[in-house]
Structure 1
């Protein structure tokens, strides 16, 4: 069940969005949980308490803190939520890319516009939920898409996740348990007892280490080079990538 947030200072706009969501849920046979806010301050108060949403429809032109500023703050806590900006003005369209907005929708919102946006966002959420991890980090509950995970390192009971965006997340756990969860995904390899890597991000394999595309060096234990190289080449051939 997806969680939706509406944020608009106009009561009539909130009522319209709630009605459209009800119509959409009935038409698609899906269930949603939604929360409505009439200010970005209220929204951010819940976000800072750990509340997370899958999709957020956010008005830009609101009294006090506008929606664009709120979106920047949301991104400090949640990089996965699909932010859809709602506005009567096109002037912020370019700026919306800076906060990785899913879409920029001009008002008034017609039913067909709402259904199209929700179809797209819901499909993306479903795909991410299938290929993702849920972490309990210092920033709260975070969903990590597996395709964005470069490598994970364990020190004691702390798992450190390095993402392709440069973001680093920490969570308590065991690397053995993580490896067991990722067995169905052939792109993950454990070349060292303290590291799990995504082979999609390998830049170089040498006798004593693996270099990832972000420059990180993952140590290779003595005698593991041939096994690791063969596993990587097998993965590459299975993916039908060119090898010279």
Structure 2
């Protein structure tokens, strides 16, 4: 993972760098980071190389909120975390689609909780493949492009952006294949990709433009999983 630290206070940046080094050792991950003393210096560089940007708000020249606004014009998806001693800017920070907001002085425990949330978001968007042995031959799919899986008798139908793929098997097999990719059962017949849920209306789960029935026995667990997904607590 590549991280940018943008802070006009080098001592504060050094503390965060120490936290990153410690967390890296504890979880066995490797990452690199670059330090920028102000927003303009950061914007003058290659901002698209980073997976996470940790940015102060109160900086000379253009502040962190304005820097983030200009950044979003280039990269609407990069993960952004504000770290500042100015809590009154929290709402403005979230308006920049910030992943999180920390108040200085930052404690190690609080910072690591935010880093763990960041890793969940990054893993959620990772590119991986599964292989399906369909009735028409072998197909490779990215889990993210699967909308939902439907079980009918002894067959599974994978509904995707690119079409439907039919596989002989049971729903338990699909659950094992897609474990760790934020799929959840809303009924005995449907395994839903939580990233494609647009609404839950009564007994219906709206998956993009399709409505799927949610059974009473699955409702509580499905809603809990969906809530965790929205909060970044699902992979």
Q: Partners of 1:52 and 1:59 in 2: how far apart?
A: 19
Does the CA contact (< 8 Å) of 1:8 and 1:58 recur in 2?
Answer: yes
Establish whether residue 66 from structure 1 lines up as the match of residue 66 from structure 2: no
**1:189–1:18: structure 2 CA closer, same or farther, 3 Å change rule?**
closer
Residue 92 of structure 1 is matched in structure 2 by 89
Structure 1 stretches of 5 or more lacking a match? Answer: 133-178, 192-199, 203-211, 214-231
Q: Partners of 2:159 and 2:51 in 1: how far apart?
A: 26
Number of aligned residue pairs: 153
Residue number among 157, 160, 169 corresponding to 1:188 in the alignment: 160
Could you state the TM-score of these two structures normalised by the residue count of structure 2? 0.58
Establish whether residue 7 from structure 1 lines up as the match of residue 6 from structure 2: yes
**1:180–1:59: structure 2 CA closer, same or farther, 3 Å change rule?**
same
Does the CA contact (< 8 Å) of 2:56 and 2:64 recur in 1?
Answer: yes
Deviations 1:30-51 (A, max 9, x none): 1011111111111111246xx3
Residue number among 111, 115, 131 corresponding to 2:112 in the alignment: 115
Structure 2 stretches of 5 or more lacking a match? Answer: 130-138, 147-157, 164-195, 199-207, 215-235
**1:9–1:189: structure 2 CA closer, same or farther, 3 Å change rule?**
closer
Which contiguous aligned blocks of 4+ residues in structure 1 show a shift greater than 6 angstroms?
none
Name the SS for the 1:70 alignment partner: helix
Name the SS for the 1:129 alignment partner: coil
How far apart are 1:73 and its partner, in Å? Answer: 0.9
Residue 98 of structure 2 is matched in structure 1 by 101
Alignment of 1:1-244 (within 5 A): 2-47=1-46, 51-130=48-127, 182=142, 185=146, 186-190=158-162, 241-242=212-213
